[in-house]
Amino acid sequence: METLFYNFVTFFVVIDPVGCAAVFAVMTPNALPSERNRMARKATLLAGAILIVFAFLGEGLLQALGIGMPAFRIAGGLMLLLLAIEMVFARPARVTRDEDDEAEHREDISVFPIAFPLIAGPGTMTTVVLLIGRETSQPAHMMGVLAILILVLVMVLLCLLAAGRVYKILGVTGSNVVSRILGIILAALAVQFIIDGIAQALHTVSP
Q: Which of 6-10, 26-30, 167-171 tops mean pLDDT?
A: 6-10
pLDDT, residue 6, reads 82
- Domain range annotation of the chain: 2-205
Cis peptide before 117 (omega within 30 of 0): yes
Q: Which of 83, 105, 104 lies closest to 93, judged by CA?
A: 83
Q: Which of 197, 143, 181 lies closest to 25, judged by CA?
A: 181
DSSP character for 27?
A: H
pTM across the whole model: 0.69
Cα 78 to Cα 17, 41, 73, 81, 197: the distances in Å are 22, 26, 9, 5, 11
pLDDT, residue 70, reads 82
Whether 46 shows a pLDDT value over 50: the answer reads yes
Q: What percent of the chain has pLDDT over 70?
A: 85
pLDDT, residue 90, reads 67
* Sequence-distant (≥ 6) Cβ neighbours of residue 95 within 8 angstroms: none
Whether 142 shows a pLDDT value over 70: the answer reads yes
Whether 134 shows a pLDDT value over 70: the answer reads no
